[in-house]
Amino acid sequence: TTTIKDQRHDYDNAITAARPPPAFLVGTALSFAPSSLHHNRRHAAQIKSIAITTKSTTTVVLSAGGFEWEDPTSEQADPGVDNPFKNPDLLKPDDDDSVEDDEEASLKVDPARLLSPRLRGCNLYLIGMMGSGKSAVGDALARRMGTYNFLDTDVILERATGMSIPQIFEDEGEAAFRDVEAQVLDSVHAHVRCVISTGGGLPMRNQNWSKLQSGLVVFLNVEPGVIMKRIEGTDRPLLQTENPLETLTNLLEERMEKYEQADVTVEVSADMDLQMTADKCIRALHDFIDENPPAWKEAKEKALEDGLDW
31-68 pLDDT, tens digit per residue, is 444 444 344 444 444 433 333 333 444 555 554 455 55
pLDDT at 92: 65
Q: How many CB atoms lie within 10 A of CB 303?
A: 12
pLDDT at 98: 47
pLDDT at 86: 87
pLDDT at 260: 96
> Could you tell me the sign of the dihedral formed by the alpha carbons of 189, 191, 193, 199, in that order?
negative
pLDDT at 38: 42
Give the dihedral of Cα atoms 115, 121, 127, 131; nearest 10 deg. 70
Residue pLDDT tens, the chain, 310 long: 445 445 444 544 444 444 444 444 544 444 444 444 344 444 444 433 333 333 444 555 554 455 555 555 555 555 567 888 888 777 666 554 444 445 545 678 899 999 999 998 999 999 999 999 999 999 999 999 999 999 999 999 999 999 999 999 999 999 999 999 999 999 998 899 999 999 999 999 999 999 999 999 999 999 999 999 998 877 888 888 889 999 999 999 999 999 999 999 999 999 999 999 999 999 999 999 999 887 767 777 788 888 887 6
User: The pTM is what?
Assistant: 0.72
pLDDT at 72: 54
- How far apart CA 93 and CA 66 sit, in angstroms, is 52
